[in-house]
Amino acid sequence: MCVQKGAGRVQSPSNMLRDPAPALPDSPRDRQPFSSARKFLSRVAGPRFVDGPIRAIALVLCLSGLMPGAAETHEPGYLTMLYLASALIVVSAVRPRIGALLAACGFVAFLALYPDYLNPFQEPIEFAAAVLLSAWRWPWSLGVTAGLVALTEISQVVQPELATPFAQLAFSWVLGSVLAVSAALAESAIQRELARRETAAREHERTVQQLRIGFAVDTHDTVSHSLATQAAMIRIISAERTPEAAQRRLGELALANGASQEQLRVLLGRLTRPTAESGARMMSAAELSVDIETMIAAAESGGYPITLQFDGSIAAMPAPRGEHVRSIARELITNMVKHAAKPVGCSLRVVRETENGIDALVLSSTNAATAKFADAPHSLVTRAEALGGSCVVQYAAAQVEVTIRLPEPRL
């Protein structure tokens, strides 16, 4: 075992593994100063969006009161009260009620000590009234304004030459009130927009969650239904007594397996493509032909060869309409496998025809039949009517023909 001595301590590999690893440069401990600075700046800026600009204005007014030209005399007591009045402007921006109270006390003290100079404590009181109004605390703002009016009345008695005229005081109050109301309205608009965006984000999250749940439910239903159907068909096949009947059931089983795979592909398409993109996607004639040939290959594996006549000039169609057409073709093939009197003589036509100047997509199946159908299959009629088409069943010469005509939508 390797042993390393240093500073009176023996370190083995096991001890080295137990020693704490040095902190990485981006560890939470190293990021703590940045977090503290961020919290400090957040407190300085205030909880509202307009608090930052208001406090910046207060700081500018405070610094202007500290300029050498702002002092009327260099007496230490006067300078102390002048600098205190400037600092109270910043206090009024952060704590307006406390700032107004302290400024009122300073106003009275300055009036008693220095009646021959302009009173600097009027400005923090006006600023506190405006800050309170910007927060829609108008009762407090009116109270501070009333107190300022009373102090001005007293100053006009004590120092009538230097007291602020009521006209000038009214102008300052109106100007501060207009700015305060503008800030309050701006804050309200910002908060409404934030609330709207938060609501929209929650609705979007809820929609995404519902899509996920819907996809999971659809996938579960598709897989469970497919497995249950195929298991039932396998049990039926095992109970069949004749090879012909078993062969028919094998064809149905192959079609059911193909239909399940197609449904899973559709669900996967819904997951990988946005809804708007999926709705705008077009299905070409070649894509539809490949899907139908896959279904026919499944039927042929069950012993039911089907002759396909496919018109390559079929126009591309929107994906939702193409899904309906594909489902109609699948049901026609399934019905031929299930109800044909014999495996031979089955055919499927998918062509484009024009009748009375109207172009239409025609899907027609023909197979041998032992009896005349009373009505058209309800599911086919429903699908055809959903696309504005029709479904007609004709029986002649021991054969049944199911024709579905789907008019092409006008652009």
SS3 120: coil
Identify whether residues 148 and 287 lie together within a single domain: no
374 found inside a domain: yes
Q: Which residue has the tokens 């609501």?
A: 199
Identify whether residues 299 and 186 lie together within a single domain: no
CATH code at 367?
A: 3.30.565.10
Domain end marker among 169, 194, 219 = 194
Task: Specify the number of domains making up the chain.
Answer: 2
Residues in the chain: 411
H or E stretch including 99? Answer: helix 96-113
The reported pLDDT for the residue numbered 7 is 41
379 found inside a domain: yes
Q: Which residue has the tokens 């205190």?
A: 84
Identify whether residues 56 and 189 lie together within a single domain: yes
Q: Who contacts 317 (Cβ-Cβ below 8 Å, separation ≥6)?
A: 282, 283, 325, 361
The strand pairing partners of 306, in sequence order, are 346
388 found inside a domain: yes
As a dihedral over the C-alpha atoms of residue 121, residue 122, residue 123, residue 126, rounded to 10 degrees, the angle is 130
First to last CA, the chain: 85
Domain end marker among 149, 174, 194 = 194
The strand pairing partners of 349, in sequence order, are 309, 364
**pTM (two decimals):** 0.50
Q: Which residue has the tokens 């009016």?
A: 149
The reported pLDDT for the residue numbered 358 is 86
As a dihedral over the C-alpha atoms of residue 246, residue 247, residue 249, residue 253, rounded to 10 degrees, the angle is 130
Give residue 327's domain range. Answer: 283-407
Angle at 373 between CA 369 and CA 379, to 5 degrees: 110
Instruction: Report whether 344 contacts 305 (CB < 8 A).
Output: yes
Identify whether residues 165 and 288 lie together within a single domain: no
305 found inside a domain: yes
As a dihedral over the C-alpha atoms of residue 110, residue 116, residue 118, residue 120, rounded to 10 degrees, the angle is -20
Identify whether residues 168 and 65 lie together within a single domain: yes
Domain end marker among 165, 194, 223 = 194
Angle at 268 between CA 262 and CA 269, to 5 degrees: 90
Identify whether residues 68 and 183 lie together within a single domain: yes
- CA separation for the pair 318, 320 (Å, rounded): 6
92 found inside a domain: yes
Identity of residue 357: G
20 found inside a domain: no
209 found inside a domain: no
- CA separation for the pair 349, 365 (Å, rounded): 6
Segments of the chain with pLDDT less than 70: 1-34, 217-218, 220-222, 224-230, 232-233, 236, 248, 266-267, 269-280, 302, 372-374, 411
What is the secondary structure of 145-201 as a DSSP string?
HHHHHHHHHHHHHH-TTTSPPHHHHHHHHHHHHHHHHHHHHHHHHHHHHHHHHHHHH
Identify whether residues 293 and 190 lie together within a single domain: no
29 found inside a domain: no
What is the secondary structure of 273-326 as a DSSP string?
S-HHHHHH-EE-HHHHHHHHHHHHHHHHHTT--EEEEE-TTPPPEEHHHHHHHH
